[in-house]
Every structure is written in C-alpha cells, then in structure tokens.
Amino acid sequence: NRQVLAIETDTSLPAARLIRVLDQLKESRGLPKSIRMDNGPEFISKKLDDWSKENKVTLVFIQPGKPTQNAFIERCNGSIQGELLNAYVFKTLNEVRIKAEEWMYDYNFQRPHKALNFKTPMDVLEEIRN
C-alpha cells in the first residue's frame, strides 16, 4: 500500500519529534517490523535507536548517496515538494500544515495510483482488510 501516514511540518524535525509521530502511528496503526530510512541526523540519533529497540522495530539504513534504495519515499518526497511546497507561497507554518493535510487526504483517498492498478491507497487498504 502506498498510503502516506503522516506529514510532519516544521523548520526542523529532531529525533524527539520523529519519535512522537511514530508513537502516534503506533497507537493508530501499530508498528512495522522494520523502517527503511536515510542517514539524516534525526534517524541516526541514539534516541531513535533506543526507541527502536524498546519497540522491537529494526531500523534499516540505506547506503549514503543511494536514494534509489528508498525509492518510494524519495518519490513521495518529490511529489510533496512539487505539488505542495513549490506550488504555493506560504506565509506561516500553519498554512503549510493545513495544505499538507489537504494534500495527504487527496493522495490517500482521491488520487488513483498507477502502481495500485488505478486505485487509491485507501481503496487498497479496504480490500486488504476485507
């Protein structure tokens, strides 16, 4: 499924903030066995490492300089950049957050995805659940 589960918007996203989002997802969706990520400072932190051990989630790091090893996320980030961040002039972070929520809703509930046989991520999730 290609569902976007969260978009966290701010001027910086330290590990503690990332962990808060992961804990929210844990409550609403449960946790995966592993999470693939790049080597950004928020991902290589001791706090996230401790959280992953506590929650029995394996952190899988891509090789530095190899974004194709995390192609889905890179593609999604590109869509967010092009369709959201570059498409509007924002005056406040709150404006970005509102538009990000709208974008995520459209992406998950309204936009058919070629890779999902022209279904939305939520359509696919519903099929999996039934």
Q: For the chain, list the domains and their CATH numbers.
A: 15-129 (3.30.420.10)
Quick one: tokens of 51? 């959280």
Percent of the chain with pLDDT over 70: 99
- Beta strand extents in 1-130 (DSSP E only): 34-37, 58-61
Measured distance CA(125)–CA(116) in Å, rounded: 11
pLDDT score, position 9: 92
Measured distance CA(106)–CA(114) in Å, rounded: 15
Q: What are the tens digits of pLDDT across the range 83-101? A: 999 999 999 999 999 999 9
The two beta strands, 34-37 and 58-61, are parallel
Measured distance CA(18)–CA(23) in Å, rounded: 9
Q: How confident is the model at residue 2 (pLDDT cuts 50, 70, 90)?
A: confident
Q: How confident is the model at residue 60 (pLDDT cuts 50, 70, 90)?
A: very high
